[in-house]
Amino acid sequence: MSFEDICLIIDSALEMCTLNIHFVSNGEPLLYPRIQELIDYTWAKSRGRCEIKIVTNGTSLKKNEKLNPKYLKSRNVVLWLSLHCGEFSVWTKIHRPKFNPEKKFEDLKEFLKDFNKISPGSLTLHNVMCSLNYEHTESILEFALETGSKDVSFGQLSKFDDLQITTAEKKMLIEKLNSLKSEFARHKIRTNIHHFVIARSFLKKEVNETLEDSSSENKKTTSVIKKTNFYDENDCYISWLFSPIDDCGNVRSCGPGRFLGTVKENSYKEIIQKGFPGFILESTQISKTKKNVKDCQCESCPHVPMNSIANHYINKLTLK
């Protein structure tokens, strides 16, 4: 998409009272040559009311560059940093930065220290757990403490089969995170560990079943392990939170979800008004139908931890 196309989408989103705009890409959004212009445009058009979130791996962040902590704070920018590991040897395997990776890692830490002082509460360290990093969860806590970060989140890998962790490794990961939960809390670092563990554990659930013995009239109740899906018992609220647009202008219901249209043929507002209401209705009834939403990858949904949090608070509000 051209710069002008992106600005038209921003205009349309602001017209519909959107106050959160995320800049993310299949690559690294901070490498987009006009990213600062986009930030300034969004800030000016929303009169400073819009929160701008940038999803970045941080490999290009330097505290003395144009996108420095003071500038980002002045534009209501928050950062969602794809960290994945706080240990350099693993971090560099995951991100594979070119040209002096040691310096880039140190530059990142120095930038985050300043950013957390200038704009506290505006950074989340995000970690997608896989076969490369599941043994290094302690390093994430250490990195958060060193940089003064107060929000840490964990996610599950939904692609790349060669990086998936085994059942035994999942168990080890959950044990590690449960043991670290109190340490994060002791240092007043907010995490989604509770909901991440729910997401990773939901594939197998112990349920009570009443079994009849055909040779007698006796019935007995026993516990059996059944394979279940998170959405068998929970709703999907992702469509309430965001609607992604890829770099070709395609609008989807959620990250891996249904194609709703392209801004090359219709305005963003027209696409949302036409396609979104039906998807929202289907997704919020998913636990009642116990089926996947059409054209959505619910069984391997990467948003389960986020949905677990949403279900928790919405159930409280509705006394469900």
pLDDT in tens, the chain (320 residues): 889 999 999 999 999 888 899 998 777 899 999 999 999 999 999 999 999 999 999 999 988 789 999 999 999 999 999 999 999 999 999 999 888 999 999 999 999 999 999 999 999 999 999 999 999 999 999 999 999 999 999 987 766 778 888 888 888 999 999 999 999 999 999 999 988 887 666 544 444 555 455 555 556 555 555 556 677 777 888 777 778 888 888 888 877 778 888 988 988 888 888 887 888 788 877 777 666 777 777 766 777 778 888 888 887 776 65
Nearest to 312 by CA among 256, 235, 223: 235
| DSSP, res 234 | S
Q: In whole angstroms, what is the distance from residue 196 CA to residue 180 CA?
A: 13
Q: In whole angstroms, what is the distance from residue 62 CA to residue 110 CA?
A: 8
Q: In whole angstroms, what is the distance from residue 230 CA to residue 205 CA?
A: 10
Helix (H) / strand (E) containing 271: helix 268-284
Nearest to 83 by CA among 68, 94, 67: 94
Residue 221 burial (10 A CB sphere; 0-12, 13-18, 19+):
exposed
Helix (H) / strand (E) containing 260: strand 259-262
Q: What is the pLDDT of residue 108?
A: 96
Nearest to 269 by CA among 13, 10, 4: 13
Tokens (6 digits) for 98: 């070119």
Q: What angle do CA 112, 118, 119 make, to 5 degrees?
A: 80
Number of other residues whose CB lies within 10 A of the CB of residue 88: 16
Q: What is the pLDDT of residue 299?
A: 66
Residue 313 burial (10 A CB sphere; 0-12, 13-18, 19+):
exposed
Q: What is the pLDDT of residue 196?
A: 85
Q: What is the pLDDT of residue 171?
A: 87
**Cα-based distances in Å from 77 to 119, 139, 168:** 9, 26, 39
Q: 91 with 85: CB under 8 angstroms?
A: yes
Q: What is the pLDDT of residue 314?
A: 82
Helix spans in 96-192 (H): 101-118, 137-147, 167-186
The residue assigned the tokens 């340490």 is 183
| DSSP, res 189 | -
CA terminus-to-terminus distance, the chain = 43
Q: What is the pLDDT of residue 204?
A: 46
Q: Domain locations in the chain?
A: 3-229, 230-320
Within the chain, what is the greatest distance between any pair of CA atoms? 80
Question: Cα–chain-centroid distance for residue 293?
Answer: 20
pTM: 0.83
Q: What is the pLDDT of residue 222?
A: 57
Q: In whole angstroms, what is the distance from residue 254 CA to residue 283 CA?
A: 11
| DSSP, res 43 | H
* Architecture of the domain made up of 3-229: Alpha-Beta Barrel (3.20)
Q: In what order do the strands lie in the sheet with 151-156?
A: 20-23, 51-56, 77-82, 123-129, 151-156, 190-191
Length of the chain: 320
Q: In whole angstroms, what is the distance from residue 79 CA to residue 183 CA?
A: 23
